């Protein structure tokens, strides 16, 4: 059965958008109609008209975007009535044991503050792109990576995303 699916996201450096586009591609191949919109952007139809609503958000410095949280709070009743899912993209998830909602401290904290509970929660490892960052972000992220055993070469770009995990998530959404 064809579903109309909305994916609403927030991104800091564009990687979450890439993940959304990949999810949309897989869902489209399964025969579903998919719209991908950055939080705050216009949608083709009202939220109530979608069968499934997926919310995706990146983390920077341990926090999800305030805009995505506000969206989830403002539309919590609609989200709760629909098939729904939430995914988070963060560098902590580069460690497989941090890819579960109950083991990822940032996602656990974020979900506790929501008035509704997503039916599906997925956590994807993100990307560290030092050349793209400004001086401040580069220094802070390098320090965090140094403390947690991650990459610290300021010229490096390291993508941790498991694209098979992204595809599997999309197939579960479309099932």
How is residue 63 written in tokens? 């926090």
Counted residue by residue, the chain has a size of 175
Q: Look at residue 133 and tell me if it is in a domain.
A: no
Q: Output helix, strand, coil percentages for the chain, rounded to the nearest 5.
A: 45, 25, 30
Which tokens go with 43? 């949608």
In a domain, 167, yes or no: yes
30 within some domain: yes
Question: Which pLDDT value is given to residue 47?
Answer: 94
Question: Can you give the three-state secondary structure of 5-29, one letter per residue?
Answer: EEEEEECCCCHHHHHHHHHHHHHHH
On whether residue 145 sits in a domain, the answer given is no
Give kind and range of the element (H or E) at residue 170.
Answer: helix 163-174
- What pLDDT sits at residue 175? 85
66 lies in a domain? yes
Is 143 domain-assigned?
no
Residue 48 is assigned to a structural domain of this protein: yes
Of 27, 99, 19, whose CA–CA distance to 55 is shortest? 19
Tell me which residue range forms the domain holding 62: 4-127+161-174
Q: Tokens 């996201």 map to which residue?
A: 9
Beta partners for residue 158, in sequence order:
128
Per-residue pLDDT tens listing for the chain (175 residues): 899 999 999 999 999 999 999 999 999 999 999 999 999 999 999 999 999 999 999 998 888 999 999 999 999 999 999 999 999 999 999 999 999 888 999 999 999 988 888 999 999 999 999 999 999 999 999 999 999 999 999 999 999 999 999 999 999 999 8
List the CATH number of the domain containing 85: 3.40.50.360
How far apart CA 21 and CA 27 sit, in angstroms, is 10
Domain count, the chain: 1
Q: What is the pLDDT of residue 115?
A: 82
> Cβ atoms within 10 A of the Cβ of 20, count?
23
What's the pLDDT score for residue 61? 84
DSSP notation for 82-104: SEEEEEEEEGGGGSGGG-STTT-
């Amino acid at each position: 059965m064809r579903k109309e699916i909305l994916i609403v996201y927030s991104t800091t450096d564009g990687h979450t958008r890439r993940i959304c586009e990949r999810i949309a591609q897989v869902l489209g191949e399964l025969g579903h109609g998919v719209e991908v919109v950055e939080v705050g952007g216009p949608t083709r139809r009202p939220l109530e008209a979608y069968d499934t609503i997926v919310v995706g958000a990146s983390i920077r410095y341990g926090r999800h975007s305030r805009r995505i949280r506000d969206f989830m709070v403002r539309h919590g009743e609609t989200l709760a009535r629909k098939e729904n899912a939430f995914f988070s993209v963060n560098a902590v998830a580069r460690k497989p044991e941090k890819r579960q909602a109950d083991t990822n401290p940032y996602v656990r904290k974020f979900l506790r503050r929501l008035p509704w509970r997503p039916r599906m929660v997925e956590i994807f490892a993100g990307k560290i792109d030092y050349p793209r960052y400004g001086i401040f972000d580069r220094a802070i992220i390098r320090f965090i990576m140094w403390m947690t055993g991650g990459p610290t070469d300021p010229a490096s770009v390291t993508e941790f995303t498991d694209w098979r995990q992204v595809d599997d998530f999309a197939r579960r959404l479309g099932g």
